Amino acid sequence: MNLLVLNGPNLNRLGKREPEIYGSETLEDVKNKCVTLAAQFNANLEFKQSNHEGELIDWLHEAEDSGVDGIVFNPGAYTHTSIALRDAIAAINVPVIEVHISNIHKREEFRHESKLAAECVGQITGLGTFGYELALRKFLQQ
Ligand SMILES: O=C(O)[C@@H]1C=C(O)[C@@H](O)[C@H](O)C1
């Protein structure tokens, strides 16, 4: 099984950025947990982060072309704005699970809507970085 974890803007600052909301783990910490979990199931895992919408779109397209079986995607703030990312998810025949560290529904109004969720298998929000593990397990254990 080939899995991809994608992270959007500002998640490269995890651990330093508003730790009261996003926690003290770094993105490297999250990557290490994801890689370790995938290895337990003999699955291949790529873990990527970009602050650029177009690069995330390119990676979604490449995932289909390269035979990725499932994508765990934290789109960051693009969650709330990006029709282009929504269209990219709709365009590929690869299941995507949307993950948010914080509970977007308990935060500012503008974070309550996801432009992407309707094109995803499901959404995990507010469970901290554990959400990445849960999303991966959905692919690994189904
Ligand atoms: O909780 C998260 O992981 C999401 C991460 C971000 O960077 C925010 O812009 C989203 O609104 C929430």
Residue 137, classed as helix, strand or coil, is: helix
Is the ipTM value over 0.95, yes or no? yes
The alpha carbon of 100 and the centre of ligand 1 are apart by a number of angstroms equal to 6
Residue-averaged pLDDT of the chain: 98
The alpha carbon of 9 and the centre of ligand 1 are apart by a number of angstroms equal to 9
pLDDT in tens, 12-56: 999 999 999 999 999 999 999 999 999 999 999 999 999 999 999
Distance in angstroms (rounded) separating the CA atoms of residues 12 and 142: 30
Distance in angstroms (rounded) separating the CA atoms of residues 78 and 80: 5
| CB environment 54-88: b (16+ within 10 A), e (fewer) | eebbebbeebeeeebebbbbbbbebbbebeebbeb
Which atom of ligand 1 lies nearest, measured to the CA of 107?
A: 11
pLDDT at residue 142 in the model: 83
The alpha carbon of 53 and the centre of ligand 1 are apart by a number of angstroms equal to 15
132's enclosing H/E stretch is helix 130-140
Provide the annotated active-site residues: 22, 100
User: What structural domains does the chain harbor?
Assistant: 2-140 (3.40.50.9100)
The stretch 99-124 carries a mean pLDDT of 98
Ligand 1 proximal residues by C-beta, below 6 Å? 10, 74, 76-77, 79, 100-102, 104, 111
pLDDT at residue 35 in the model: 98
